[in-house]
Amino acid sequence: MPIMKKIYKAHILFTKEKDHFEVLENGYVAVGADGRVIAVSARLESLECKDAEVIDFGNKLLIPAMNDMHVHAPQVHNQGVAMDLELLPWLENYTFPEESKYADVHYAERMYRRFLHTQWLFGTMRSVVFGTIHTESTRLLMKLYQEAGMGALVGKVAMNRNCPDALCEDVEAAVRGNEELIAEFNRPDALVRPIITPRFVPSCTPELLKACGELANKYQLPVQSHLSENVSEIEWVAQLEKESTSYGDAYNRYGLFGQTPTIMAHCVWTHGSELELMKRNGVMVAHCPTSNFNLSSGIAPVRSFLDEGLRVGLGSDISGGHDLNMFRMLVYAIQVSKMHYQLDHGKAFLTLPEVFWIATKSAGSFFGKVGSFEPGYDFDALVIDDDILHPEEYSLLHRLERYIYLGDDRQIVHRFCRGQEVPEPASMEDSGKRIS
């Protein structure tokens, strides 16, 4: 029996199953000294822990924290910029020039602190993050996450073709940089760990993809990349990797497609053998609805992914996406699925409990036991004070729905990651500035 640390009392809502919310009015969650949930119950007596301190959040809501499963920290300066281009010209004209600036660690520090602060504001306690090719700036980003007490899988980006010289790194240097970060950060159960990050097939020679696969295998590290986002990109990959039967197969041939835990952003055009391979290999999809709108990439068939049993999470994909607020990402995911439903009535649109489950328990499984309040789960939680949203007029479920649709960071009054309260991280700028 773990040592009891604290009991939190509030209106508790979470999604153990994907089609409905667990709702505990004036419920209790007991958290051990290791930051993990011991028990959740509607009644204090049933927790059998009379001596533990009870922290009463009164009429507030207690919900699992958000997970951003695909985000580019070094694109924060471009948030809301160049939203009228498709993927390939957008990368060349805006994204690559911005990422080149991260050779300068001082610039990186200012931007990375801004980025983390915004994630904190919106209650995102875990992320799967792209850095840049720069080892020093990526180390800094990892240290900032550690310092903040927020969880992250952080990737030093691998790229060596079809990019400006400033973002091209030879294979040996890429391996060396990765191994430095692995030596420093790869601890079992650490909140901040490295993830192998080939940018996407067009940016990586076969030698670099092979080296990435070997690193993932040697150190048993997870992998992230982009997959089947845009039609021109997919045609380009077919030309570059002629022997592959699909874009996904190009990763698979190098051990980068589920040989270790793998998450692929977008999958807008994934179908047929690529989908089968993802299923077989347990590859998770990071669905990024705002990015898919902004870069005019298309509509990912998330209902089909769920029907096929694929694992799915949600990503902001800053700065293809413009919004770091993951609650709004839930709304966008629902809305885009309703557009899809209008095109194909055979595929029902996504509902709120389904999308909440995708964003919390389903996404959280990439980090271990994260995203639920069931016993054994990391206590990653947010306390929501929705007093300005007239809570007295609504059921608890509608209060949560209204918070998701209408709320923002100002209603998040406590944030926890693995049982620890996460205070506001230091920024180098006026932290009064809110980016919503």
**Residues near ligand GUN, by CB under 6 A:** 72, 87, 91, 95, 199-200, 226, 229, 291, 317, 320
Stretch 252-281 residues interacting with Fe ion (CB under 5 A) = 265
Q: Indicate the DSSP class of residue 360.
A: I
Per-residue binding letters, 291-320, with Fe ion (x by CB under 5 A): --------------------------x---
User: Residue 282 is which amino acid?
Assistant: G
Q: Name the binder of 380 from Fe ion, ligand GUN, none, CB < 5-8 A by kind.
A: none
Q: Which residues on adjacent β-strands are paired with residue 321?
A: 318
Nearest residue by C-beta to ligand GUN? 320
Closest distance to ligand GUN from the beta carbon of 129 (Å): 12
Contact 9, 28 (CB under 8 A): yes
Closest distance to ligand GUN from the beta carbon of 229 (Å): 6
* Closer residue to ligand GUN in complex, CB, 30/286: 286
Question: Phi first, then psi: what are they for 60, rounded to 5°?
Answer: -85, 165
Helix H or strand E encompassing 144: helix 135-148
Closest distance to Fe ion from the beta carbon of 265 (Å): 5
* Closer residue to Fe ion in complex, CB, 90/416: 90
Q: Name the binder of 229 from Fe ion, ligand GUN, none, CB < 5-8 A by kind.
A: ligand GUN
User: HSE-up of 217 (CA within 13 Å, CB side)?
Assistant: 12
Closest distance to ligand GUN from the beta carbon of 26 (Å): 43
Q: Name the binder of 199 from Fe ion, ligand GUN, none, CB < 5-8 A by kind.
A: ligand GUN
Q: Are strands 4-17 and 20-32 parallel, antiparallel or unpaired?
A: antiparallel
Per-residue binding letters, 375-414, with Fe ion (x by CB under 5 A): ----------------------------------------
* Closer residue to ligand GUN in complex, CB, 160/291: 291
Closest distance to Fe ion from the beta carbon of 291 (Å): 7
Encode burial over 394-411: b for 16+ CB neighbours within 10 A, e otherwise.
eebeebbbbbbeebebeb
* Closer residue to Fe ion in complex, CB, 61/284: 284
Closest distance to Fe ion from the beta carbon of 126 (Å): 17
Q: Are strands 124-130 and 151-155 parallel, antiparallel or unpaired?
A: parallel
* Closer residue to ligand GUN in complex, CB, 23/88: 88
Annotate 172-184 with DSSP letters as a single string: HHHHHHHHHHHHH
Quote the CA–CA distance of 306 and 219 in Å, as a whole number.
Answer: 30
Quote the CA–CA distance of 278 and 195 in Å, as a whole number.
Answer: 19
Encode burial over 67-95: b for 16+ CB neighbours within 10 A, e otherwise.
bbbbbbbbbbbbbeebbebbbeebbeebb
Residue written as tokens 């077989």? 280
Count each helix (H run) and each strand (E run) in the chain, helices first: 15, 17
Q: Which residues on adjacent β-strands are paired with residue 12?
A: 24, 62
Report the candidate in 301, 308, 300 with the shortest Cα–Cα distance to residue 283: 308
Closest distance to Fe ion from the beta carbon of 317 (Å): 4
Closest distance to ligand GUN from the beta carbon of 362 (Å): 21
* Closer residue to Fe ion in complex, CB, 47/318: 318
Closest distance to Fe ion from the beta carbon of 297 (Å): 11
* Closer residue to ligand GUN in complex, CB, 222/320: 320
ω into residue 296 within 30 of 0, thus cis? no
* Closer residue to Fe ion in complex, CB, 38/288: 288
* Closer residue to ligand GUN in complex, CB, 211/286: 286
Closest distance to Fe ion from the beta carbon of 318 (Å): 8
Q: Name the binder of 91 from Fe ion, ligand GUN, none, CB < 5-8 A by kind.
A: ligand GUN
* Closer residue to ligand GUN in complex, CB, 166/348: 166
Which residues are CB-neighbours of 426 under 8 A, at least 6 positions away? 113
Closest distance to Fe ion from the beta carbon of 336 (Å): 17
- Tokens standing for residue 298: 């298309």
Give 393-434 as a 3 state SS string: HCCHHHHHHHHHHHCCHHHEEEEEECCEECCCCCCCCCCCCC
Q: Name the binder of 15 from ligand GUN, Fe ion, none, CB < 5-8 A by kind.
A: none
* Closer residue to Fe ion in complex, CB, 137/197: 197
Quote the CA–CA distance of 273 and 326 in Å, as a whole number.
Answer: 31
User: Would you count residue 98 as binding Fe ion (CB under 5 A)?
Assistant: no
Which residues are CB-neighbours of 165 under 8 A, at least 6 positions away? none
| Residues contributing to the site for Fe ion (CB under 5 A) | 265, 317
